Amino acid sequence: MTSRPHLTDADYARLLRLRTQLRKFEHWSAQQAAAMDLTASQHQLLLAIRGHGGSKGPTIGEVAADLLVAHNTAVGLVDRTQELGLIDRERDPSDHRVVRLALSAVGREKLNALSAEHVEELARLAAVVDKLVRN
């Protein structure tokens, strides 16, 4: 534990502005997802499936690790997202314990519609955060 200088009012104000920028991005992203009738978590689940390397499709445990949530949280999220017809559960033929996830046609379309603008918005976020960190 290193000794730290006392934080000033200005330090706290800057910390608040930084967190506000992160919040604004998440909020904007959630609104974009909502416009496609998705929650933010459902959007992230679609991205975790689409962005997963390899041909086989990720397991529930793998997306739970990607999303930094407990496996049972991922089960509930997969349940709700599957009910919307955005993803499919498929038992792995070589290991029947494993469920592999795949995007449905609708899921693929919705994720595609969201992704390009997210690339742009993330670039903006990076620029603003970098500026704030450098004071």
Partner DNA sequence: TCATAATATCTCGTATAGCGATATAATCGT
Partner DNA sequence: ACGATTATATCGCTATACGAGATATTATGA
User: Which stretches of the chain bind a copy of itself, using CB under 8 A?
Assistant: 4, 7, 11-13, 15-20, 22-27, 44, 47-48, 50-53, 66-68, 112, 115-116, 118-119, 122-123, 125-126, 129-130, 132-133
Where would I find the H helices in the chain? 9-35, 40-50, 60-67, 71-83, 105-133
Q: Map residues 56-85 to x or -, x wherever contact with DNA holds by CB under 7 A.
A: ---xxxx----xxxxxxx-xxxxxx-----
Identify which of residues 76 and 131 has a Cβ nearer to DNA in the complex: 76
- Distance from first CA to last CA of the chain, Å, rounded? 25
CB of 106 to DNA, least distance (A): 17
- Of 98, 29, 14, 24, nearest to 57 (Cα)? 98
Structure tokens at 34: 């909502």
Identify which of residues 40 and 132 has a Cβ nearer to DNA in the complex: 40
Which residues are registered as beta bridge partners of 99? 91
